Amino acid sequence: MADLHLNLSDDLKSRLQRRASESGYATVEQFAHDLLKASTDEELIDDDVEALLVARLNDPRTAIEFTPQFKQQFLDEIQGRRRSRGA
């Protein structure tokens, strides 16, 4: 695995730290890694979304109501799948 070193302004680093924390990442490095990976690996994103949608189609619960809470849960599940693949 190769290393990548970036020089960031203090402001940019602070914003990245805040976004990483809000997204559940322990470090900016983990957040940046997943962000870069997601931006270059569309197949991974498509696979995650497809797997979650297929699982929901097979779920015996009633129809989905697209609420802000559902959207956040869906995004959290995708992020969890991405992290587990990178572990």
Cβ neighbours of residue 24 under 8 Å, at least 6 residues apart?
76, 79
Is residue 2 a part of any domain in this protein? no
Torsion sign, CA atoms 57, 59, 60, 64:
negative
Q: What is the pLDDT of residues 57-80, one digit of tens each?
A: 777 776 777 788 887 888 888 788
Residue 10 confidence class, pLDDT cut points 50, 70, 90: very high
Number of domains in the chain: 2
pTM score, whole prediction: 0.46
| Pair (81, 49) in one structural domain | yes
pLDDT score of 42 more than 60: no
Same domain, 30 and 56: no
Q: Are residues 58 and 81 in the same domain?
A: yes
Domain extent for 33 = 7-40
